[in-house]
Every structure is written in structure tokens, then in C-alpha cells.
Amino acid sequence: MEFLQWKLESKTAIITIDRPPANALSSSLLEELDELLKELETNKDVRVLVLRGEGRFFSAGADIKEFTTVRSSSKFVELAKRGQQLFERMERYPKPIIASIHGAALGGALELAMACHIRIVSDTAKLGLPELQLGIIPGFAGTQRLPKYVGTSKAAEMMLTSEPISGVEAVKWKLASRSYPEEVLFEETMKLAKKIERKSPASMKAVLNLLNYTKSAQFYEGVEQEAKLFGEVFDTLDAKEGIQAFIEKREPVFTGK
């Protein structure tokens, strides 16, 4: 695999995102993740998965430069649906997946983390959905999962302002379960993973399956609508301006068109 590494420690598979400099989530990386999840699901030696990032970040988000190569709104809808399907698969995965988040988990990276069963964060990590800063919207079910954790008001604030919250705040808002100083984050994550891996695989699978019943039919309607609007927004001039401004490292000038 080009962008993912994994190793087995005891009964925990440690998956590392390794795509310098910011571990951006390209289509190829997400395809690799999908394939790896299929492989580990049937691996009897693996009981728990830990997902982490190499370098400074868990992941700074989607590969924005990739967006400039997509030419139609229907292709953006397809892109959104592929991401949604992968993250839904993760949420329904029969083995616990723990996200160990340091540095930043922004945009698609936070959507990825929210699809994991447990999130452990560094105190100073930045978590957010800043897509509106680019004139676009979250497309991998972020608009539906974020309110489930932090509530509608806080989710609206985070998305509409594009401002992230810290790891400490993420615990306060129930977006993460624990936060630690960055230097001990991975060690503490592995302590948790090893505590979980001693449980019965059948019992863990049953609990993870039952947790999915907490999602309503409205959640899936929202995800479908999100993909549709994700495509429509990319047809606007503001989206093109926002993406170009991001690439050029300048503030976008939105005109409402």
C-alpha cells in the first residue's frame, strides 16, 4: 500500500496514514483504507483497530487539489456517496475502531474520525468542518454525524464559522471520549485498545451492531440529501473561488453566485 501502513501489536492492528505533508485524504488513500478494512475484518488475529496519522497531523482533510480535476456536479455526488459508503461501513464494522487524533482532524478527516467507534485526542488537536471557508459543504456525512455528538447548535456554529475546537473542547462536547497531552496520546490509546482486545469477539460484535440502531431513518435521508447538495454547491462560482483561494493560500472573495 502506498499511503497506509499497518502492523499487529498483540491483538490490535495499528493503521497509520502516511501521506506527507498533511496526510490529505485522496481518493486513492480512501480506496486503500477500504481494501485494508476488508482484509482485517477476516483476520482472526485482529480484534481491535487503531487509526492514527504519521507526522504532524492525524489528517488535515480531503485532498482539495483533487477537486479541481472533477468537472461535473454528478461526479461530485458520486464522490460524496463513495465516501459516505466507506464511513458507514466503518461505523458498522464488527471490530472496534479507535481514532487516535493529534495535530488536526479537519473536514474529511473529522468525518473519517466520526465514523470510528471511539475517538481519543491530544489536548491541543484541532477538530472541525471548515468546508464553508472554501465555498463548499461537508460531503462524507459530516453534516449528519456532527450534530449527533455535539448537538445541533454547536454543529451549526462549527460549520458556519469554519472554526475548529481543541481536543479538550472535543471531550467537553462529547465529540471525543478522552484527551491527553500529545506526547502520551498514542501510549494511552494503546492501553485502551489492549483493555478492549481482551473482550469476547462475539460480544464486541454484538454491541457494535446494536449501537447502529441508535441511528434513525432521518439520518440516512440526511446523508442522501447531503450528497445531492454537495454536488450542487460545486456548480457555484463561489465554490470555484474558494478552492482556488485555498490552493493559492489567500482569503476567498465570495460573491453569492
Whether residue 115 is contained in a domain is answered as yes
Q: What is the CATH number of the domain that holds 50?
A: 3.90.226.10
| pLDDT for residue 181 is more than 90 | yes
Q: In this predicted structure, what is the pLDDT of residue 254?
A: 96
Whether residue 190 is contained in a domain is answered as no
> Into how many domains does the chain fold?
1
Q: In this predicted structure, what is the pLDDT of residue 71?
A: 78
pTM over 0.85: yes
Its domain, for residue 174, covers 4-183
Q: In this predicted structure, what is the pLDDT of residue 72?
A: 87
pLDDT in tens, 48-69: 999 999 999 999 999 998 998 8
Q: Name the pLDDT band for 208 (thresholds 50, 70, 90).
A: very high
Whether residue 72 is contained in a domain is answered as yes
For β-strands 97-101 and 178-180, DSSP reports them as unpaired
Whether residue 63 is contained in a domain is answered as yes
Whether residue 48 is contained in a domain is answered as yes
Q: Give me the torsion for CA of 93, 94, 95, 98, rounded to 10°.
A: 30
Q: Which residues are catalytic?
A: 111, 131
DSSP per position, 50-108: EEEESTT-SB--B-HHHHTT---HHHHHHHHHHHHHHHHHHHT-SS-EEEEE-SEEETH
Per the CB < 8 A criterion, the answer to whether 58 and 125 are in contact is yes
